[in-house]
């Protein structure tokens, strides 16, 4: 009996089985910003082989189920406080620390290799756009949404919860924007293919950009598919308590 089928929602599959993200990444199936749709929709859109994708997903699940401990954390079981800490101290801290460093690397390889590699000037522009957008996005979350969630956890006051919920749509749109730029970066760099004349810095810049993509997709996935539904669930629970 297979664990997953293609009528399931992509985001829900990754929530239930975090390692599914590796399979989706391999097929360029968007699980964070485009997580709220069925797997079959993405398979059809991208003209993928449904049997192959499901087979890979179900085999990986079986392997991991047989080797417990290798699995990633199931964030649905975490407390809201734990999710908030994971996002702020792991994912936001990562971006604040790494984006400036990656920015310096991107400009360095543009100076050295830009004449022979026109894709680097596109990558430079895309990286700086996503960096700028993410900086204001992180600030928005850190000054509005996360404090409101923490206030709510303290006060249990519905006004605090509403404040956190009110900007969900806006944040989701920004996630989609950042996700799209990361996808474009992949396209212009031909999947971060290292050219024959590349130096060490070139290689490490591409490695860093891919690491950032990984971290960002995981971060957006937890916000879109775990945290936001959690907040909406708390709101519903409040409503049914009142009603």
Q: Which region among 3-11, 39-47, 180-188, 220-228 touches Fe ion (by CB under 5 A)?
A: 220-228
> Which C-beta is closer to Fe ion: that of 21 or that of 57?
21
Stretch that binds Fe ion, among 113-121, 128-136, 138-146, 182-190 (CB under 5 A): 138-146
> How does DSSP assign 157-177, residue by residue?
-HHHHHHHHHTHHHHHHHHHH
Can residue 223 be called a binding residue for Fe ion (CB under 5 A)?
Answer: yes
DSSP string, the chain: --S--TTSBHHHHHHH-TTHHHHHHHTT---STT-SSBHHHHHHHTT--HHHHHHHHHHHHHHHHHSTTSSPP-GGGS-HHHHHHIIIIIIIHHHHHHHHHHHHHHHHHHHHHTTT-THHHHHHHHHHHHHHHHHHHHHHIIIIIHHHHHHHHHH--HHHHHHHHHTHHHHHHHHHHHHHHHHHHHHHTTTTPPPTT--HHHHHHHHHHHHHHHHHHHHHHHIIIIIHHHHHHHHHHHHHHH-
Q: Which is nearer to Fe ion, 110 or 178 (CB)?
A: 178
Query: Between residues 141 and 160, which has the closer beta carbon with respect to Fe ion?
Result: 141
How many residues bind to Fe ion according to rule CB under 5 A?
Answer: 2
Give the x/- contact pattern for Fe ion in 139-168, rule: CB under 5 A: --x---------------------------
CB of 167 to Fe ion, least distance (A): 10
Is 182 a binding residue for Fe ion by CB under 5 A? The answer is no
Using the minimum distance from each CB to Fe ion, give the nearer residue, 62 or 166.
Answer: 166
Cβ count near 200 (within 10 Å): 7
Q: Report whether 165 contacts 235 (CB < 8 A).
A: yes
Nearer to Fe ion, 27 or 94 (CB): 94
Q: Considering the complex, what minimum distance in angstroms separates the CB of residue 103 from Fe ion?
A: 19
Scanning 15-23, 46-54, 61-69, 217-225 for contacts with Fe ion by CB under 5 A, the matching segment is: 217-225
Query: Does 30 help bind Fe ion (rule: CB under 5 A)?
Result: no
What distance lies between CA 28 and its chain's CA centroid?
13
23 or 227: CB nearest Fe ion: 227
Stretch that binds Fe ion, among 3-11, 56-64, 191-199, 222-230 (CB under 5 A): 222-230
**Sign of CA pseudo-dihedral 136, 139, 143, 144:** positive
**Cβ nearer to Fe ion, comparing 12 with 223:** 223
- As measured in angstroms, the least distance from the Cβ of 172 to Fe ion is 8
Instruction: Kindly state the smallest distance separating residue 39's Cβ from Fe ion, in Å.
Output: 23
**Which residues in this chain contact Fe ion in the complex, by CB under 5 A?**
141, 223
């Amino acid at each position: 009996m297979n664990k997953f089928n293609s009528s399931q929602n992509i985001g829900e599959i990754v929530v239930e089985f975090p390692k599914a993200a590796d399979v989706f990444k391999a097929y360029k199936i968007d699980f964070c910003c485009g997580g709220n749709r069925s797997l079959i929709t993405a398979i059809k859109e991208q003209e993928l082989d449904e049997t192959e994708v499901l087979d890979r997903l179900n085999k990986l699940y079986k392997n991991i189920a047989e080797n417990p401990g290798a699995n990633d954390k199931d964030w649905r079981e975490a407390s809201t406080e734990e999710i908030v800490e994971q996002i702020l101290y792991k994912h936001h801290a990562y971006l604040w620390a790494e984006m400036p460093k990656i920015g310096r690397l991107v400009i360095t390889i543009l100076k050295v290799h830009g004449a022979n590699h026109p894709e680097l000037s596109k990558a430079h522009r895309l990286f700086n756009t996503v960096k700028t957008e993410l900086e204001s996005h992180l600030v928005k979350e850190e000054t509005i949404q996360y404090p409101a969630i923490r206030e709510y956890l303290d006060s249990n006051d519905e006004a605090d919860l509403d404040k956190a919920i009110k900007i969900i749509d806006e944040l989701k749109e920004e996630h989609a924007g950042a996700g799209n730029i990361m996808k474009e970066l992949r396209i212009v760099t031909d999947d971060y293919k290292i050219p024959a004349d590349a130096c060490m810095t070139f290689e490490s810049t591409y490695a860093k950009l891919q690491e950032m993509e990984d971290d960002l997709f995981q971060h957006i996935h937890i916000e879109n598919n775990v945290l936001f539904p959690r907040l909406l669930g708390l709101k519903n629970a409040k409503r049914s308590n009142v009603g």
